[in-house]
Amino acid sequence: MVSDLLRTPDPRGDAGSAAAPGGFARRFLRLNYIAVLAVSLLFLREISFSDPWTALYGVAIWLTYGAIYLIPLWFLLRVGVWARVARRGPFARAVFGLLCALLATTTVSLLYSDAVLYQNWGYHVNGFVWNLVKTPGGIESLGAGESTFVAVVVLNLALFALELLLLWLASRAPGPVRVLSKPTWRWIGVLFLLSASERIFYGFGHAFARQPTLAASDAFPLYSRLTFDGLARDMGIDVPRRLSVGSTVSGGLRYPKEPIRVAPDPDGTKSPNIIWLVSESLRADALDPVRMPNTFEFAKKGTRFTQHYSGGNGTRVAIFTMFYGIYGSYWFSVLDRRQGPVIFDVLEDKGYDFLLNTSARFTYPEFDRTVFVDIDKEDMTEWDEGPKWKRDEDQVGALVSFLESRDGAKPFFTFSFFESPHANYSFPPETAIAKPYIEDVNYVTMSLEKDRDGMFNRYINSCHWLDIQLGRIYAALEETGLIDSTIVIVTGDHGEEFMEKGRWGHNSTFVQEQIRVPLVIHVPGRAGGAVVDRMTSHLDLVPTVLPLLGVENDPTDYCQGFDLFGDRERDTILLADWSRICLIADGLKSVLPLKNRVLLGSGLTTIDDATPPDGTTLSADRLGAVLRGLAEFRDRRAGAVSN
């Protein structure tokens, strides 16, 4: 019985005695402080102890935030609450004890989960993670196996058992634990000094642009930053100015900027069909003669782009940019207004038939409220049952049947989104070409540093399986003769990192492995076999396709990209994620915040993610162009929406 773990306290007892309510509350809270510090070592190890300043700062955060994370438990364990519960007898003590243990278990479990998230993916529980949890299809998109869920249950049961043990220790107060009953004011005094110290450390680190200090502040969840740049300037300290882009991402939406003009099809002709094939997490180097031989061979009938960039490091922004052709920072404005992209307005006006398939969900990310909001739901199919490799196989079967049944009277548009190369990297074992590989992906127990090669082999095998399915589509196009009247686009939404730069997966950083993807385009009547080595972007897909459909507008009326087959070459790439933008220009890569948080140039690297020489900066002209681009499709009138 839980009540047996808790002695009935005498409210009149000495504050430090085992029976006193104040003594019990303090002991249980401080035992959990030790437990939280132990878990928080996972955050502390993410800090580079490159100098004494950063080391002291990191330890101060560790000790301070170990207490801050326990504030909810502290409220529950106030002496007055416990004393009132204790007077009501064993049942009340049992219920209260369980509540304390559950809250403490939840706190420690959340911290451990956040630490695993940060170590592997590079971000804490945030708006993106919350969106994933609450949106239909979000959890399923993780691809966690049964062993992961079993491990989560076992871990939380073990933590709950630990909390029951701490409950017993706090109640019985054996000799070594009695020291934790010391009066609270001493602990508060120490924590106050530590908190003041770490905030002063950060304030000066920010003022003097000390990169190790700023990076260390990212390691702990919920860290609150205190700056005093103004005071530093008043003291005569030269504080660098920060670029703020937050003001450019507010306001209404003006998309497109001008009405779209479409020339009629010449007599006796019809617009080309379009097959748009997109894979989850397909990084650029996946396309080679060994891993994806069918697609590599198909590229000889079209054009292959070797330096192609996604519009972001995650699916949401990637798909958004390839269909809207505008920066990913506009995602939230489009989502608020539920406004579809220009390309589907044109296709519907021209009488296209539609077939949209996904092996995930159209609801996560919220493509049913953005990209495909105007598509008839009967034309959209979610293949979301069974392993991902089987979903891809089944939806390809549906697409092949669709192609074989066409009568040629109307043009069609198909979109296919494949999930095999998404974690946990799915394929039937008999098709594996890379061995050995991790057979069971357990997100709780795996170590990417140790399991990296086996996980990467899983990824290669999943890409190979996807290529087998894509080969069925290419064959159907040839057999039906539709290849001569169909635009085919093959690409990935974003890339996938395997610890090359310290992270796994995507959505965490803008390193090359996470943002570069393959691109193959086949256009009827255009000579095949070309290989383009200049920089290109997902933003360039719409301005390449729309002129082929008869759109006469200048692309600047509806997008921020260029015709891939035109004469203009890109000298910049802009990507976005949930809260940042990444600018690539002049051989450099810079990450900037979309909101008020200042990164202070912490993301400045070479294009290949190396540290640039001291004093390297992006030109003011480049940064100014970014600010103009972020505001290009904004309408400052409140609530303004284009028609």
Helix, strand or coil, per DSSP, at residue 209? coil
d(CA 317, CA 493): 9
Query: For domain 270-569, is the CATH number 3.40.720.10?
Result: yes
d(CA 327, CA 331): 8
Strand partners, 308: 536
How far from 334 is each of 286, 345, 642, CA to CA, in Å?
A: 32, 15, 11
How far from 161 is each of 44, 101, 102, 168, 376, CA to CA, in Å?
A: 25, 9, 10, 11, 52
Q: Is beta strand 519-522 parallel, antiparallel or unpaired with respect to 486-492?
A: antiparallel
Provide the pLDDT for residue 579: 80
Provide the pLDDT for residue 22: 58
Neighbours of 46 (CB within 10 A): 17
pLDDT tens-digit profile of 357-413? 999 999 888 899 999 999 999 999 999 899 999 999 999 999 999 999 998 889 999
Radius of gyration over every alpha carbon of the chain, rounded to an integer in angstroms: 28
**Complete DSSP assignment for 367-396:** GGGTTTTTS-GGGEEE--SS-HHHHHHHHH
d(CA 9, CA 170): 12
Q: Which of 503, 486, 487, 505 is nearest to 495 (CA)?
A: 505
Q: Domain residues of the chain, as ranges?
A: 2-234, 270-569
d(CA 483, CA 274): 10
- Contacts for 599 with CB less than 8 Å, ≥ 6 apart: 214, 580, 591, 592, 593
Give the single-character DSSP code of 258: S
Provide the pLDDT for residue 278: 99
Which backbone phi and psi does 387 adopt, to 5 degrees?
-65, 155
Q: Is 0.85 surpassed by the pTM of this model?
A: no
Low-confidence ranges of the chain (pLDDT < 50): 1-3, 8-19, 138, 244, 246-248, 596-601, 637-643
Alpha helices in 179-240 (DSSP H): 184-207, 211-216, 229-234
